[in-house]
Amino acid sequence: MMAKPAQDQPYLQVNLLDKEFEQISRWVYQAAGIRLSNNKKALVSSRLAGRLRELQFSSFQQYIDMLTHPKHPLSVVERQTAINLLTTNETFFFREIAHFDFIREVILPLKAERKLRCWSAASSTGEEAYSLAMMLAQYHNGPWEIVGTDINAEVLEKARNAIYPMLRADNIPKAQLHQFCLKGTGSKVGTFKIARELRRHVSFRQANLQQLPDDLGQFDLVFLRNVMIYFDAASKERVIANVQRQMKPGSYLLIGHAESLNGIANQLTLIRPSIYLVA
């Protein structure tokens, strides 16, 4: 008997089979370098389930076939949607505050008056880039620019909009909140927007750390935080080599406190936990 089409079964629960999970894991590893461990199966299933319903697919296999089909008319768009759904984008303002203290106390005095090009290399929704922007606007005397990049197109859209729920303002120091964040009114009540004065220094573009675009340019300061935790050793090594190529001599690389570059940071000098200098 033929299976009923999914649209006739609105509450159908589609099971993610082990072999389907393996196919999705392989695909996301090739696309983004992200290693999904076996305990992520339920997470993957729940993140993609809504998409299956929207596409009226009755099995994950149908979805995988579409995703991996080289000529399917929707596969390019769907691959981006799948990446958007499968990446973890948690972030917040002034995350790992010791890095911001180090920038203010050590890096900015050394680079006084010089032009600073900074990169938030897995920017997610932009909180990291705008936290840095607040610091530079307040403490750096020279010109500056921040580029935020991410593989997830949806978070980049949010980053460009620069509108955040008021609850997200908790970590922003009061003085900077008043100076650089505009309280929403009318339909925007309960939100704030990053002031134009900061936004004009900050741009966002899509980039896969596994394969960076040629025209990214060179940077003086790079945040590469809380993204390598999703990579295996080979992806991490590739990403560090790629990122190093974009760094000027005398530039700084900041990684997440829970991350390590043991054995792969050959041209980098560890100067504080999670802070590296490019010779």
Ligand X SMILES: C[S@@+](CC[C@H](N)C(=O)[O-])C[C@H]1O[C@@H](n2cnc3c(N)ncnc32)[C@H](O)[C@@H]1O
Instruction: Give residues in contact with ligand X (CB under 6 A).
Output: 32-34, 87-91, 95, 122, 124, 128, 150-152, 155, 208-210, 225-227, 230, 256
Q: Indicate the residue among 42 and 258 with the shorter CB distance to ligand X.
A: 258
Strand pairing report for 275-278 and 144-150: unpaired
Candidates 8, 18, 26, 47; catalytic one: 47
Q: Which amino acid is at 149?
A: T
Closest CA to 15 of 59, 48, 51, 50: 59
Q: Work out the angle between the directed axes of helices 41-55 and 60-68 (0-180°, nearest 10).
A: 80
Q: Indicate the residue among 199 and 225 with the shorter CB distance to ligand X.
A: 225
Q: Indicate the residue among 65 and 78 with the shorter CB distance to ligand X.
A: 78
Q: Indicate the residue among 52 and 227 with the shorter CB distance to ligand X.
A: 227
Q: What's the CA gap between 130 and 219, in Å, rounded?
A: 17
Q: Which amino acid is at 166?
A: M
Query: With contact defined as beta carbons under 8 Å apart, do 140 and 113 qualify?
Result: no
Candidates 95, 117, 150, 220; catalytic one: 150
> In the bound complex, what is the minimum distance in angstroms from residue 127's beta carbon to ligand X?
7
Rounded (10°) CA dihedral 178, 184, 189, 191: -70
Establish whether 150 is a catalytic residue: yes
> In the bound complex, what is the minimum distance in angstroms from residue 96's beta carbon to ligand X?
7
Q: Indicate which residues carry an active-site annotation.
A: 47, 150
